Amino acid sequence: MHFQVGSMGDRLSGGQRQKLAIARALIKQPTLILMDEATSALDNKSQSRIQKMMETRWKGKRTVIAVVHRLDIIGTFDKVAVMKAGKLVEIGSYQELIDKRGLLHELIYGKQ
């Protein structure tokens, strides 16, 4: 809490800035949280902890809209929306979209 972060946080790494932004969101306890690649600069361990927290503490209490590129973290999301070229092409649960064998399936498993 007493670390000198510099002007506008310029002494913080990208990962530290992301952790700080997520911590601020947790403190404010909003009902809606928009996350755009919120954990992209974090190490795997930190990213896993935040993902676990979203699955346990926030489930049913917060609406989280997350833009992600790492497809390994979306398996527990209630709904997944897949976009291509700026257009929404699929929406449903992870399992529904995998079973459909559409674009999400192709992104994860490649063309078959």
Domain boundaries, the chain: 10-70, 79-112
1: pLDDT strictly greater than 60: no
In this prediction, residue 93 has a pLDDT band, given cuts at 50, 70 and 90, of very high
CA pair distance 94, 81, nearest whole angstrom: 9
Domain 10-70 of CATH type 3.30.590.10? no
- Residue in 54, 59, 56 with CA at minimum distance from that of residue 38: 54
* Per-residue pLDDT reduced to its tens digit, 19-68: 888 888 878 888 888 888 877 777 888 888 888 877 787 778 888 888 88
Q: Would you state the pLDDT for residue 3?
A: 67
Evaluate whether 93 touches 85 at the Cβ level (below 8 Å): no
DSSP labels, 37-99: STTTTS-HHHHHHHHHHHHHTSTTT-EEEEE-S-GGG-TT-S-EEEEETTEEEEEE-HHHHHH
How many other C-beta atoms are found inside a 10 Å radius of the C-beta of residue 73?
Answer: 17
